[in-house]
Structure 1
């Protein structure tokens, strides 16, 4: 294929007027490269400077947390105020240095944070994790109305600082079992006040966040959201509720929706080895759901998960069921993969299922995050990634790193 004939190489204009130079977006990946104070480290900035050379349309950052008392993992960047503004500006500048847009993903983990990382965890309701996860995740405390209102404003504050720092847009993380996802789910949200009790009330939290962010950043600044097609969990967020949420967000003015699915308790977004044969053959995991969205809404859509080839991406785009293909893990082992795809070439590496050889560990799905995080750390420190690094080695080293990170965070809280 030639560059001229590829739909993925063509620009796309959002309703805000922003022109995205092609249809490839780097989906958020957990970099865990914040410094001890929660600012972006030199390695994080170098990582994005490297990715910028790939000529991709948009780089979406990994989780940036809105509250230093509510981290998702050690190494999160935290934005509560402007104390790191100089370094945030450098991060944005380096990410945009070759013409890509850079959107900051902002998030609150809710209950989904490892035991000991934060003083406590919170959620819409005090619902514990499944028995096999309770050793890792504590039962959360139910949020008060005042705390919910504060969190909504924190999202808006972080978004406004991202805009001031030069980021091109923001993405709300409303998927994968984090706080917005918890509010949307009848399993996690068992409230009977204005924030729960029926689908309309469960949607109120994300819609209020959107309205507060939009009021801070104005109409021309893109606001996207990552949203589950479903939680794939008994009693959880269903496809029907997701479609209704997408319609509500579209009516409110959202600029782009990224479709994903699953939670830490049901990590379908991380377990490529469990994909149906029919889904694997056409590559994109959530394409059937994207088709359903297209019947109800014209909101720009990004589908992430499962793409393995140039033909798979191009076919999905030409079918008209999505506007952007989201790629993630390939950039942790081949930082300039987008440049090859845009020029009609296959990537030099392939994302493959990972294993430690220990079924219990593999079933948790966390290896699919931690292994790629280690490769990104290598790129950020100027070292080539290791595409064939053994999964068990990566898992054991990650346990050590997370343990040290939790210990450091406890020491910071105590100081």
Structure 2
């Protein structure tokens, strides 16, 4: 099986197999320090024993002023000896069985909610341009957007320079702790995604006005992270898929990806969705592949939410290492995706919270038949209160937000030494 084979990244990092524990918010790092703690070590030890090819951490925020959530881990440019120690323990725990671990670095930009981060009530979020989040057409949805996020401040060049420095500092801290690399979060509507998109980047300076200029902040971060770490330190990026409404939007994205690949990226992960349109947290389970006979391309793409876009990237950039995350539930589907050439690595999120040892126990377990090597999850039931609130306040991301909280709760159970709830169908 391709899925069980070792593979390598351009930086020289070797992965023991093709299964990647995708990034998920742990929500386990409270204020004021927002540092990884013993509970996180317990949770990551479970994954470290699971036989994964690579572990991606949840969001590590690079700015203490703007967090994506009130319990996010925060990187620190001037970390104390105690913080350096716990980071080294985190890296060591993740990798104690030979699985390389990579830190996902992020800045939420306009998606930093009220109360997340060390900023005053009247301090505006940052974004490339002053484009407000749109949760829906109702008056109440507009009020919710205004109260929770507000209209962001268009960043100055000084603001941009500071953010670049913060990403580099986060990468340097990860490198010194012993992690094997970092993944820049350029998806899900966060700050780097805001720069890449013409919908949220209306600038006409060096950081906007063309596809190449919208990618400039990402390119500078990649180059400076490489200079601050080493040639063997992995640098990846997570990007959104494109539901191209026109050939121009697809062409623009391919131009940006070409520049990112040329900058020396080691892998590119494909996901999708934003706070406004949360595809990454959709509830519907994918259509799963159930037989090795005549696996249809349409069925394969319905199991993997974003494989079609990845195949477009592959056609344009045949050598880039691609991770596709979202929807994979079966060994057959994963193997078929790899054999199609659409991706090199399989990212798995929600099933990894239910079965942290999924690779060892099921997917790579040769004692389990192909048709039985699968994990389908029951949809998360929204509490009645959420249903009522969603009727009263039709906000598109409300159900997706609850789903994310639910799976973060499974990680927290792991951190408490408990087994995750088995929600398999």
**TM-score, scaled to structure 1:** 0.87
Take 1:348 and 1:385, find their aligned partners in 2: how far apart are those partners?
17
Q: What is the DSSP-based 3-state SS (H/G/I as helix, E as strand, rest coil) of the residue aligned with 2:215?
A: helix
Q: Please list the CA deviations of residues 331-380 of structure 1 after superposition, one character each: whole Å capped at 9, or x if unmatched.
A: 11111112121124456752333231625477532122111001110001
Q: Which residue of 1 aligns with 2:132?
A: 128
Task: Give the alignment partner of residue 379 of structure 1, picking from 414, 417, 420.
Answer: 414
Q: CA RMSD in A?
A: 2.3
User: Which blocks of at least 5 consecutive residues in structure 2 are unaligned?
Assistant: 289-297
CA contact (8 A) 1:224 1:258 kept: yes
Higher alpha-carbon deviation: 181-190 or 335-344: 335-344
Q: Which residue of 2 aligns with 1:260?
A: 271
CA contact (8 A) 2:59 2:72 kept: yes
Q: How many angstroms does 1:288 deviate by? A: 0.9
Task: Give the alignment partner of residue 303 of structure 1, picking from 307, 320, 324.
Answer: 324
Q: What is the DSSP-based 3-state SS (H/G/I as helix, E as strand, rest coil) of the residue aligned with 1:62?
A: strand
Q: How does 1:5-404 map to 2 (within 5 A)?
A: 6-36=1-31, 37-81=33-77, 82-83=79-80, 84-118=83-117, 119=119, 120=123, 121-130=125-134, 131=136, 132=141, 134=145, 135-230=147-242, 238-273=249-284, 278=298, 282-297=302-317, 298-339=319-360, 340-344=362-366, 345=368, 346=372, 349-356=375-382, 358=387, 360=394, 364=398, 365-388=400-423
Q: How many angstroms does 1:246 deviate by? A: 1.5
Take 1:281 and 1:62, find their aligned partners in 2: how far apart are those partners?
26
Q: Please list the CA deviations of residues 37-69 of structure 1 after superposition, one character each: whole Å capped at 9, or x if unmatched.
A: 111011111111111000101000000011111
**How many residue pairs are counted as aligned between the two chains?**
382
Q: Which residue of 1 aligns with 2:293?
A: none
CA contact (8 A) 1:355 1:362 kept: no
Take 1:248 and 1:279, find their aligned partners in 2: how far apart are those partners?
32
Compared with structure 1, are the counterparts of its residues 266 and 111 closer, same or farther at alpha carbon in structure 2 (3 Å cutoff)?
Answer: same
CA contact (8 A) 1:35 1:41 kept: no
Take 2:2 and 2:413, find their aligned partners in 1: how far apart are those partners?
32
Take 1:220 and 1:368, find their aligned partners in 2: how far apart are those partners?
37
Q: Please list the CA deviations of residues 203-245 of structure 1 after superposition, one character each: whole Å capped at 9, or x if unmatched.
A: 1111111111111112111100001122x5999x943332222
CA contact (8 A) 2:126 2:153 kept: yes
Take 1:201 and 1:7, find their aligned partners in 2: how far apart are those partners?
38
Q: What is the DSSP-based 3-state SS (H/G/I as helix, E as strand, rest coil) of the residue aligned with 1:103?
A: strand
CA contact (8 A) 2:19 2:359 kept: yes
